[in-house]
């Protein structure tokens, strides 16, 4: 009985070791594809995304970088529980929306979201309600107060109707944070605000499809 148990355990450990070695062999290529996907793919539609990923794979093959042939970037960059949570917060189940949710979940800058249907706004409001997400726009007379409050207390700010980005946001979008005596500060026009940079999130939403050069 004990011998059979030890044999089964040894077999399981051997299988785990083989799986780990296989993952290690393709780690560099998988990470390069996943990183490029998160960093560059967001602007493009579903068809163009597939084209780009295919081109990236061809390039990696050309320079002899091994990657997993059947790599699913959606499964690689998110867990099943995360996808279930996103779906419960009104995210549509199609692949494009899940990819967009992954990019939003993993961004380290502040995204511009093109959302003519309003689905993304609904999802963001539900997904970030525990972070006291606040909706505002550049036309809001209290915009500066909302921005300062979000920066100071590390909450989430959703800026709507962003046909053009107001220069007042530039120091925040560029993450021009300054460390002084253990505190993190950012200057907005004539106001210096104490920031919680690792908690603060800002998302900008435009309802219509902009031209490529509008935000260049």
Q: For the domain that residue 199 is a member of, what is the CATH number?
A: 3.40.50.300
> Of 107, 134, 159, at which residue does a domain stop?
107
Statement to judge: residues 64 and 166 lie in one domain: no
Q: 98 near 78, Cβ under 8 Å?
A: yes
Statement to judge: residues 60 and 121 lie in one domain: no
Count of structural domains within the chain: 2
pLDDT value of residue 203? 64
Q: 35 near 53, Cβ under 8 Å?
A: no
Closest CA to 166 of 127, 138, 125: 138
pLDDT value of residue 84? 94
Q: 42 near 103, Cβ under 8 Å?
A: yes
Per-residue CA distances from 75 to 23, 72, 88, 99, 123 (Å): 14, 5, 18, 10, 20
Statement to judge: residues 151 and 208 lie in one domain: yes
- On the 0-12 / 13-18 / 19+ scale of CB atoms within 10 A, 113 is buried
Residue 6 Cα to chain centre, angstroms: 44
pLDDT value of residue 19? 66
Statement to judge: residues 101 and 131 lie in one domain: no
pLDDT value of residue 49? 94
pLDDT value of residue 97? 92
Statement to judge: residues 162 and 213 lie in one domain: yes
> Of 107, 134, 169, at which residue does a domain stop?
107
Statement to judge: residues 11 and 59 lie in one domain: yes
Q: 201 near 209, Cβ under 8 Å?
A: no
pLDDT value of residue 197? 47
Instruction: Tell me the HSE value of 192 on the side-chain side, using a 13 A CA sphere.
Output: 7
Closest CA to 127 of 96, 108, 105, 147: 105
- Per the structure, the complete domain to which residue 23 belongs is given by 1-107
Statement to judge: residues 86 and 14 lie in one domain: yes
- pTM equals 0.76
- On the 0-12 / 13-18 / 19+ scale of CB atoms within 10 A, 111 is middle
Instruction: Tell me the HSE value of 108 on the side-chain side, using a 13 A CA sphere.
Output: 3
Q: Which residues of the chain have pLDDT under 50?
A: 189-190, 194, 196-199, 210-216
Closest CA to 143 of 188, 194, 200, 199: 188
Statement to judge: residues 49 and 63 lie in one domain: yes
């Amino acid at each position: 009985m004990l011998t059979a148990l030890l044999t089964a355990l040894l077999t399981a450990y051997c299988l785990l070791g083989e799986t780990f070695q296989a993952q290690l062999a393709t780690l560099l290529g998988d990470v390069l594809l996943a990183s490029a996907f998160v960093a560059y793919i967001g602007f493009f539609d579903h068809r163009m995304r597939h084209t780009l990923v295919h081109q990236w794979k061809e390039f990696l093959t050309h320079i002899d970088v091994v990657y997993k042939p059947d790599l699913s970037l959606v499964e690689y960059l998110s867990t099943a529980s995360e996808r279930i949570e996103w779906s419960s917060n009104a995210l549509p189940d199609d692949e494009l929306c899940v990819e967009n949710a992954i990019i939003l979940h993993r961004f380290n800058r502040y995204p511009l979201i093109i959302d003519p249907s309003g689905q993304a706004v609904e999802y963001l409001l539900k997904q970030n309600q525990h972070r006291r997400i606040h909706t505002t726009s550049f036309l809001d007379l209290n915009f500066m107060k909302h921005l300062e409050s979000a920066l100071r207390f590390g909450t989430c700010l959703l800026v709507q109707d962003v046909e053009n980005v107001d220069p007042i946001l530039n120091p925040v979008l560029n993450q021009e944070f300054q460390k002084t005596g253990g505190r993190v500060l950012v200057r907005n026009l004539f106001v210096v605000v104490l920031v919680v940079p690792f908690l603060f999130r800002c998302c900008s939403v435009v309802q219509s499809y902009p031209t490529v050069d509008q935000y260049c």
